[in-house]
Amino acid sequence: MENNIKDMLAQLALADAVSKAVGEMTSTKPNDNLRAHVDSALLDLYENTGATKMQVEVNGEEVGTFSLTFTKPVDETVIVCRDPRKLVNWLRTTDEGKDTLDAVIGKAMGDVLKAAKGYGFFPDGCAMEQVCEPKRVKGSVLKVDKLKVAQAMGKQLPSAVAGMLDAGEVE
């Protein structure tokens, strides 16, 4: 059993290291990575030619498309608060304001009670209750150093994957 879990953990470590490397390359968060460079190139193409999509080819085979996404245009009339004090007064003193406030508080009850407790307030209509829950397993955490995994894999690791892990040629 112990060897089995060790083998599975080794496989999981490799998968996690590759996943992290791929995630770093493909992350859409602002970054200096492969995805950011491709996004920038397609944006430049769009600005110069109007093209919004490109075919993706691997070894001469079409495997998909890469395209820009756009927000929907907005043209609507919205309410904008120019004087928060007047808004608070409306919420407190009118039936419409109270109905609006009731609806918002109903959706945000946890945040409202947390804020009141943080300020040291004890709102009317509330009670203190002791909540006790035993410790339980909620998941697991795997922390793997992708370069260490690449080095540990040695020649078993294909050079294409080693390159993704920034390990170069692994011995």
**Could you read off the pLDDT of 50-89 as tens digits, one per residue?**
999 999 998 888 999 999 999 999 999 999 999 999 999 9
> Residue 66 belongs to what domain range?
2-72+137-164
What are 84-142's pLDDT values in tens digits?
Answer: 999 999 999 999 999 999 999 999 999 999 999 999 999 999 999 999 999 888 888 87
Residue 107 included in any domain: no
- Extract the runs of DSSP E, i.e. beta strands, from the chain: 53-58, 61-67
pLDDT band at 167 (very low <50, low <70, confident <90, very high): low
- Radius of gyration, alpha carbons of the chain: 27
Q: Is the pLDDT of residue 2 over 90?
A: no
Residue 82 included in any domain: no
Number of domains the chain contains: 1
**In whole angstroms, what is the distance from residue 67 CA to residue 41 CA?**
11
